[in-house]
A and B are shown apart, each in its own frame.
Chain A
Amino acid sequence: MNHLSKKLCIVLVSAMVAFAGCTKKPKRPAPSDTVLGQGGAQSGLNVGGPESLGDASATGLAQREGVIEDENTIRGLLQPVYFDYDKSAIKEGERAKLQDAKAYLEKNPQYRLLLEGRCDWRGTAEYNMGLGDRRANAAKKYLQTLGVAPAKLETISKGDLEAKENGSDDEMAKDRRVDVVVLKK
């Protein structure tokens, strides 16, 4: 156990060192920290069964770029978007919040947005990871229809991992949301 924890510490420290030098750019994990290496996953695509992707340019799969660091985020400034139970459609009453988010981006062109999808705790963890993902992507798509460039938008699912447990119906409804987080870098 100690052996492993030491190694993990070393990995963590070297990751921190690697990231320390490039604070301006979006941060990429050092290639040596990933088993994929510099070629990335793209090089491994398009080999497989009948459902495999036929055309690399048609795949949306790409290596992750950047990491989330709390000090580079602004939370609570923009309004969260709420959803109905088990649903991922943007309700009409919630659309103004995303229009506000778009206006904020126009005033602050150096910033980007992180759309963070969440679910209430009544469900199952893996499905809720997917549902949170869909909610975040629904908000992203809506912003894109408003004319926001995809490069300005990141999505993430938190599933039900930070949901309030045993809350009232109203509290549970508040967990079915997408947080609109400002990314300063």
Chain B
Amino acid sequence: MQKLLRILVVLTTVIATSVWAQKPKASTRTARGSEDIGTVEVQGLNATPISITGSPELSELANLAFDMHGKYRRVSSGGAFELRFTSAGANQVRVDVLKGGQAVVSQTVGGTSTRNALFRAADVAVKATSGLNGWFASKLAFVSERSGKSEIFVSDVFLGEARQLTHDNAHALTPRWSPDGTKLLYTSFFKSGFPDIFLIDLRSQQRTTFLSLKGTNSGARYSPSGNQVAMVLSGEGNPEIYVSNAQGRQISRRTRTDGVESSPCFSPDGSQIVYAAEPGPQLYVMPAGGGSARRLGAGISSYCAEPDWSRGDPSKIAFTVRLGGAFQVAVLDLKTGISKRVSQAPRDAVEPTWLADGRHLIYTARAPNSRNLFILDTETGKAKRLGTVQAEKACAWGP
């Protein structure tokens, strides 16, 4: 029986892989696993040729950023745009976007550091040349075991300027940003030994217990207004979705089932909550204030979990699917109702989190005893590894 099951799993994997291989031409030239495939021109997908000039240390950073972005390919000259980055004083970077030698945008941008100012300036260039929201100046919160036990870190989107926030020596998971980027909610076994929800205020550098109720307290996420928090509590005997105010008070229940509910996430307008529920799990959406739930994105897999609703493109929900014996990231397009696999990780791609443009996302590449963060362009399938740090469970925040 075990053998038969294993053969079935292998077969399913082969089928899933060959189905993928028959996708349209545009999707076949994708990054395979962790290989750095450099700059690839993807036919028919409008990669914009750009040249980057300016002071050497700034253009080097800009190269790193734009090489992560699937919308662009760098050329030495003769591109559609020239992007020039020059220093304009302490933590100030001037960006000039030139088309045919003529400046179309010139702006001086300040940041918390020169590096941060360069990323902000590069985001200005992205907006000016593509219309997309930039995400180079976004922040990441992530769980890393680089210190031995899982702790919460924040960094820029390229894992630079990383800061360790906790020294708890306890399991921690799912750090999530407040919409204004000043707070983090996360689950940790710190202090009580049970899974509780903690709040870190990044401005005051204070950490407080957000909820420590009987049972499991996990999966806390802010609403887009920051006034509400959705989470999973099991104190009434079963893991269910609850919503509280931003102080963890006025808790009210949203689901009532026999199965496991997990990973609630508000829609960008705050009116709905998407979550995963058994059997399956599968994705469901319900009014944020409570009411009946509707199943989403049926058909792609019997296991759909960890939904993340894009604020950059409200028609897209990224989630994790089991395909054969592996896990990959899929995107549901709410306009068509069609779910499509977007990642090609060699083992597993889990925990997707959208970046600000609704096109790129970050996922955790999971292999036995190894976790690495990747940036994925969901349109080209191009994936690039972020740093070499053993990191997992990231959540992005874009200004």
Contacts and interface: CB of A to CB of B under 8 A. Distances in A.
Contact of B199 (A7, A35, A53, A126): A35
Interface stretch (B70-78, B101-109, B131-139, B203-211): B203-211
A62 B214 contact: yes
B239 A67 contact: no
Nearest to B256: A51
A51 B232 contact: no
A59 interface: yes
B289 interface: yes
A69 interface: yes
Contact of A126 (B254, B262, B325): B262
Interface in B193-217: 193-196, 199, 205-216
Contacts of B237: 60, 137
Nearest to B286: A51
Contacts of A8: 166-168, 207
B248 interface: yes
Contacts of B192: 29, 64, 66-68
A41 B213 CA distance: 8
B327 interface: yes
Interface in A48-85: 48-53, 59-69
A94 interface: no
B351 A129 contact: no
Contact of A156 (B195, B261, B290): B195
A11 B195 CA distance: 18
Nearest to A51: B290
A60 B242 CA distance: 13
A36 B213 CA distance: 10
B234 A157 contact: yes
A126 B251 contact: no
A34 B247 CA distance: 11
B307 to A, nearest CB: 10
B253 interface: yes
A44 interface: yes
B191 interface: yes
A175 B209 CA distance: 30
Contacts of B253: 51-53
Nearest to B279: A86
Interface string A111-131: 000000000001111110111
Contacts of B306: 124, 126-127
B193 to A, nearest CB: 3
A125 B193 contact: no
Interface in A1-36: 1, 3-5, 7-9, 11, 15, 29, 33-36
Given A7-B206, A127-B263, A133 B215 contact: yes
A131 B260 contact: yes
Contacts of B245: 44
Contact of A4 (B165, B173, B247, B263): B165
Contacts of A157: 195, 216, 234
Nearest to A15: B191
A139 to B, nearest CB: 13
Given A61-B236, A130-B239, A133-B260, A124 B351 contact: yes
Interface string A38-52: 000101111111111
B289 A50 contact: yes
A65 B209 contact: no
B235 A34 contact: no
Given A33-B209, A36-B209, A133-B239, A61 B248 contact: no
Contacts of B243: 48-49
Contact of B369 (A15, A52, A165): A165
Interface of B: 2, 6, 163-168, 171, 173-174, 187, 191-196, 199, 205-216, 218-219, 232-239, 243-245, 247-256, 259-263, 276, 281, 288-291, 305-306, 320, 325, 327, 350-351, 368-369, 393
8 contacts: A34-B209, A41-B248, A67-B193, A124-B263, A125-B174, A126-B263, A156-B216, A161-B171
Interface of A: 1, 3-5, 7-9, 11, 15, 29, 33-36, 41, 43-53, 59-69, 122-127, 129-134, 137, 155-158, 161-162, 165-166, 169
Q: What 10 pairs between A and B have smallest CB-CB spacing?
A: A48-B252, A166-B368, A68-B193, A51-B290, A44-B249, A52-B252, A60-B236, A130-B260, A49-B289, A130-B239
